[in-house]
Amino acid sequence: MLSLPASPQRSAAFALWSLIFLLPTAARAQSSELDSLRATVKGMEQQLQKALDRIDQLEKEKSSSSARIGEVEKSVQAVQSAPTALNPSIGMVLDATAEHRSQGGGNFNFRAAEFGFAASVDPFVRAYSFVTGSRDGVEVEEAAAITSSLPWNLTAKGGRFFADFGRFAKVHDHELPFVNRPLSMDRVIGGESQADGVELAYLFPTPFFLRGTVGGYNKIGADNERVDNAKSRSWSRFTYLGRLNTYFDLTDNQSIELGSSMAYTPSLRLNGDPTGGDRMVNGIDVTYRYQPLSSVVYQGITWGSENSERIPFEDVAKRRQSYGAYSYAEMKLNKNWSTGFLFDYAPSIEKPGLKTIGYSPYVTWNISEFNRLRFQFTHADDRVRADNSERGNQFFLQWTTVIGAHTHGFLGR
């Protein structure tokens, strides 16, 4: 049979009917694919939500475990620190010298056995005490309480302690970088700056260290016998102190420390004088340090100087001023050895025209952190003391040993 070619009209009609029948089928296929994608996305959302819920649960469990671990650690620390809390840290220092004076001969001088006790009272206060025994007897050198959590950068101290005057006046003898306390400070202050009273210190919020101290005391000076700690008196006869000191780095290897102190007694009565007069002691101290970073604090140079002024009152109508000063330089050679030189200019308080001038080179051997030997030679041109043995050439060999926990703060500088 022969087929005849279709006419153009028939072909167009056939194509139109095919399109009419195929379009719904394609639309249904596309809709099914969209529904499948929606279901897949919804399933992924549900899985993601489950994962997020699981993460939240794990974080809560972790926080709970950390809290329990923290409680356990606190309990362990409390148990470990209980013996320390009940038993303060205790230490002892023995300080003795073998001495020879060209004008007085030799002597073995047991200078002191100093016992130290320190502990925290509670989270707000810590306390310490130093009891010293020497040839002169037993004395409580310091026994004070210090706050540790006052607001506004304040720290309060009360009891018996070394008043914050100058640099070396508040340092125990065995902590000095040389054998003997400079006479220029000894005569002005009256030995160490021991005082019964209170102090308040404020740390300024500056980019460098700056601290101010004010205090009120019965008197200042362990050997100051003008005032008796056991006797009451008017507040005008107390001694009041103000000090401002700062520390800052000049370079990575160099630093400087500056301080200014003033102690003032509004009314001081001597030799039965019923009126008396005011008394003032001023001091300025400066300390320069060169400490190479590569030396790990075992090498360096320290230079310090301090001068003071005092007005005595044997007769108010004849007020006199006396000026004293010392200067020293010390070089650390290595971990064990250092050497230095001290110059001391100490006029008489009663007769400023008379003075003592001392020159003292010294060598220190730190056998260990707890055992030290120091040899010092001193030449004293003395026009003040009547004792000839204090004049001329003097030789000292000092031996200082430490046992236990014994510290006076940041002094090894």
pLDDT at site 80: 47
Whether pLDDT at 1 is above 50: no
Of 43-57, 75-89, 233-247, 305-319, minimum mean pLDDT range: 75-89
Furthest CA-CA distance within the chain? 161
Is residue 83 in some structural domain? no
Query: Does the residue 110 lie in any domain?
Result: yes
Does residue 288 form part of some domain? yes
Does the pLDDT value for residue 16 go beyond 90?
no
Residue 363 lies in a domain: yes
Q: Do 283 and 242 meet the contact criterion of CB atoms below 8 Å apart?
A: no
Q: Which pairing describes strands 209-217 and 277-290: parallel, antiparallel, or unpaired? A: unpaired
- For 19-51, the pLDDT digits (tens) are 555 555 555 556 677 777 777 877 788 888 888
Average pLDDT over residues 289-299: 81
Q: What is the pLDDT of residues 51-97, one digit of tens each?
A: 888 888 777 766 655 555 566 555 555 544 555 556 788 999 999 99
234: in domain: yes
Q: What mean pLDDT is predicted for residues 226-241?
A: 87
| pLDDT, tens digit (0-9, with 9 covering 90-100), for 175-195 | 999 999 999 988 888 889 999
Q: Which one is predicted more confidently, 278 or 31?
A: 278
Q: What integer pLDDT is reported at residue 99 of this predicted model? A: 95
User: Is pLDDT at 206 greater than 80 in this prediction?
Assistant: yes
* Per-residue pLDDT at 311 exceeds 80: no
Residue 365 is assigned to a structural domain of this protein: yes
Query: Which pLDDT does position 322 carry in this prediction?
Result: 79
In tens, the pLDDT along 346-356 reads: 888 777 778 89
C-beta atoms surrounding 89 within 10 Å: 14
- pLDDT above 90 covers a percentage of the chain that reads 46
In eight-state DSSP terms, residue 7 is P
* Out of 40-49, 211-220, 333-342, 373-382, least confident range: 40-49
pLDDT > 70 fraction of the chain, expressed in percent and rounded = 80
Examine the pLDDT at 4 and tell me if it is beyond 50. Answer: no
Non-local CB neighbours of 293 within 8 Å, separated by 6+ positions: 252, 253
Give the residue-averaged pLDDT of 196-222.
Answer: 94
Domain extent at residue 218 = 93-404
CATH code for position 219: 2.40.160.10
Residue of 412, 408, 356 whose CA lies nearest to 387: 356
Least confident of 226-235, 250-259, 267-276: 267-276
- Tally of domains in the chain: 1
- Asked if residues 256 and 248 have their Cβ atoms less than 8 Å apart, the reply is yes
How large is the average pLDDT for residues 208-219? 94
More confidently predicted of 315 and 301: 301
pTM: 0.75
5 part of a folded domain:
no
Model confidence pLDDT, tens digit, residues 89-140: 899 999 999 999 988 899 999 999 999 999 988 889 999 999 999 888 999 9
Residue 10 lies in a domain: no
Q: Under a CB-based contact definition with an 8 Å cutoff, are residues 94 and 400 in contact?
A: yes
